[in-house]
Structure 1
């Protein structure tokens, strides 16, 4: 009886083990088949845009400083008592505006005396002329020596008139010097001397006057650029058509080259290269009708150094950086991502100019990834979605790349 029970229990246990093994095998088979039949991975959707193109000129940017085209120290030309200074300090004045008045009364008195001396000399000359005329008409009654003396007296009186007139002119000039006028239109400084003080001729600086429109800016050009533009500077001299051949624009230190608003013309190039710095100093003259520039400002000067060429423009969001090198991701005809190194140039209308480096290609019709660069990599298959090229609405004013390499 007991043997029969044990036999039945063994058979039942074996049957349970066999069923469990069969179930595990079935699950394993189903699992293997499931791995082989997983759905195809979805390609990521990536936004792409077509580069724009525009004509741009190659240029260089140099640092420099502004300088007044005219600058003078206004000095007293006569010694005297400063009566008036009828101008507003720091404001613009026009040519001919009265700046200072010195008490003219001492000089007016000198002028009156000089005028009297002229009248006296004229009267004396007339007397000598009458004597000489009378004696000449009576040669038989007048000794030769007397005629000679009469002639000498007349000439001396004539010279006295000339001397008196010169003194009168000097006296008149001193009276005129009592009123000091602006020699040209410009911006006046503060007064160095208050009214009711004495000033000394040719010594006291009353104020300074500068001309700020137009305005000079001087900058140093390196030898490499000088060699590039050498053909445009025949004999080292600035050509008459410099405005066309070497146009300049000027901006402040916090402005981008494409935003420089002050147009100018190359005016002077120094006659030698500074051996210590390897540069040549140049001067440009710039429009300053808004009077927003002042002499002594640190500025940047852009010089176009080549003929305009067609360039491709992309969004700045399309640019990646790899160990200092800029690159784009381009989607080819097979919807695969292609890594493309580029050089970047000037910014324009919210986009930036790009040029493929040697060994890479970029054409006007290429599809460039403009967003989500961190989600793609070279040779990756993507689903491109065409969008408009995004533009920077308010670009930062920090200096960026300023030279578009040829």
Structure 2
């Protein structure tokens, strides 16, 4: 009897210890923690498609300066690389021979004027004498002929004098335009030839042109209603810059499609009051299509690449990430348009698949997609592309 009671007591004690151990183990097991991930609801914005083209800037006016008379350079009147104005004297030629020629012709003109005055006097007297029949008709006609010869001689000498005065004026080589002057190709003391020697070059810097070619399909689908008079806005980025900081507009559209390339040549003009644009610079041009559409916008970093596919991770039931194939559109700063795959109200992992993958439960941290400082359409009041791209 005592042995039976002892066995029951030992069994009861064993069950009690086992129950306590199980309860202790359950209390010590940690709760599973999900990874915190930034998520955001996609935004829908009215956007215009951007088209990008490459070009090199051209000056509206560029002059290869050549002399209009031959001679020897006496002095150079500019600093290389300076801004020059129309009419500024740039090169001065030795003008002594030109001055002497002008003086000689002036003397000949004065002599011809005196001879003409005498011929006029004799012709007038011949008319009176003829009326009194004091001289023959032949003598009167001879005096009239002499008068005409003196008039022609004077006219010829005056033309030669005008030409010589112009040549003397051209010994001062002046700038024909406002712009930036290059270096002097020919220095003081050298002989130069009229219309052959290139003294220097001058490039206008008040504004710059950018020519680029738009393919026929893009032009017909996005810009068919654009004309030079509509001043279609464009923005430009120089090499080494992150922003499209320069605003301009289209001011020329060619009159035909290039049949060989299937493109249309257009020109944008950029005012350069700050002197930061230089002819020959490589640049990228962006212009926006006129059509505006409501489009889903997400951060560009939210988009992942899976072989040939582009995808985003959306937040589904129970905060489990889901794989969504998408079709991407234009980029707007740090954001990207999604043309297919997402709809308004979808919630995405804003940092993309960097640390997570589809099927993974997460702890969502809701944030807002920042669109400040990004232009999705043309500006309002001034019709300019106003934001960084």
Q: TM-score band, normalised by the shorter chain?
A: 0.7 to 0.9
Residues 234 and 288 in structure 2, CA contact (< 8 A), matched pair in contact too: yes
C-alpha displacement of 1:51: 4.1
Report the TM-score when normalising by structure 1: 0.77
User: Would the alpha carbon gap of residues 278 and 356 (structure 1) be closer, same or farther in structure 2, given more than 3 Å must change?
Assistant: closer
Match of 1:48 among 20, 23, 39: 39
Match of 1:191 among 158, 179, 184: 184
C-alpha displacement of 1:333: 7.2
Residues 266 and 284 in structure 1, CA contact (< 8 A), matched pair in contact too: yes
Q: How many residues align?
A: 360
CA–CA distance in structure 2, aligned partners of residues 220 and 372 of structure 1: 37
Tell me what 2:72 maps to: 81
User: Would the alpha carbon gap of residues 99 and 156 (structure 1) be closer, same or farther in structure 2, given more than 3 Å must change?
Assistant: same
Report the TM-score when normalising by structure 2: 0.80
Tell me what 1:402 maps to: none
CA–CA distance in structure 2, aligned partners of residues 283 and 162 of structure 1: 50
CA–CA distance in structure 2, aligned partners of residues 108 and 121 of structure 1: 20
C-alpha displacement of 1:318: 2.5
Q: Which ranges of structure 1 fall in alignment gaps of 5 or more residues?
A: 1-14, 394-406
CA–CA distance in structure 1, aligned partners of residues 147 and 117 of structure 2: 8
Tell me what 1:369 maps to: 349
Aligned pair 1:260/2:244, yes or no?
yes
C-alpha displacement of 1:223: 2.7
Aligned pair 1:251/2:237, yes or no?
yes
Instruction: Using the TM superposition, name which of 382-391 and 170-179 deviates more.
Output: 382-391
Tell me what 1:239 maps to: 228
C-alpha displacement of 1:389: 3.4
Q: After superposition, what is the alpha-carbon deviation per residue over 1:34-61, rounded to whole angstroms, capped at 9, x for unaligned?
A: 99xx887444432223445555432211
Residues 304 and 352 in structure 2, CA contact (< 8 A), matched pair in contact too: no
C-alpha displacement of 1:381: 4.5
Residues 312 and 352 in structure 2, CA contact (< 8 A), matched pair in contact too: no
C-alpha displacement of 1:166: 0.6
Aligned pair 1:355/2:338, yes or no?
yes
Residues 57 and 211 in structure 2, CA contact (< 8 A), matched pair in contact too: yes
CA–CA distance in structure 2, aligned partners of residues 146 and 55 of structure 1: 98
CA–CA distance in structure 2, aligned partners of residues 311 and 353 of structure 1: 10
CA–CA distance in structure 2, aligned partners of residues 310 and 180 of structure 1: 60
Match of 1:326 among 310, 317, 325: 310
Tell me what 1:305 maps to: 289
User: Would the alpha carbon gap of residues 286 and 152 (structure 1) be closer, same or farther in structure 2, given more than 3 Å must change?
Assistant: same
* RMSD between superposed Cα atoms in Å: 3.6
CA–CA distance in structure 1, aligned partners of residues 47 and 358 of structure 2: 30
C-alpha displacement of 1:311: 4.4
